């Protein structure tokens, strides 16, 4: 599994990632580049700047939670005909 795949999986789980998280969890030294790659692939990833306890500013990345289980599994909802409509 590539770093981008691991980062995407974490974001889809609802994790919020900073560069330090990416370094410790995925051995990724260039989180911003991996996020850029994922955005280019069409994923919507949010970014904000946060302050660490030591006062440094770092970027934090996250994705919105899926609306439901179907979306989380990458499936589309379909409407089935009701009894008597056939």
The DSSP H or E segment spanning 48 is strand 46-51
pTM: 0.74
Query: pLDDT for 53-83, tens place per residue?
Result: 999 999 999 998 766 666 666 666 666 676 6
How far is the CA of 7 from the CAs of 22, 28, 49, in angstroms? 8, 9, 18
Query: pLDDT for 21-58, tens place per residue?
Result: 999 999 999 999 999 999 999 999 999 999 989 999 99
Q: Is 11 helix (H, G, I), strand (E, B) or coil?
A: helix
The DSSP H or E segment spanning 50 is strand 46-51
Name the CATH topology of 3-72.
Answer: Arc Repressor Mutant, subunit A (1.10.10)
């Amino acid at each position: 599994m590539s770093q981008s795949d691991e980062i995407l999986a974490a974001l889809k789980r609802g994790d919020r990632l900073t560069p330090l998280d990416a370094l410790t969890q995925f051995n990724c030294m260039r989180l911003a580049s991996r996020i850029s790659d994922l955005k280019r692939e069409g994923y919507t990833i949010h970014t904000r700047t946060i302050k660490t306890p030591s006062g440094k500013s770092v970027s934090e990345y996250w994705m919105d939670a899926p609306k439901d289980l179907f979306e989380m599994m990458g499936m589309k909802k379909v409407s089935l005909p009701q009894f008597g409509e056939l």
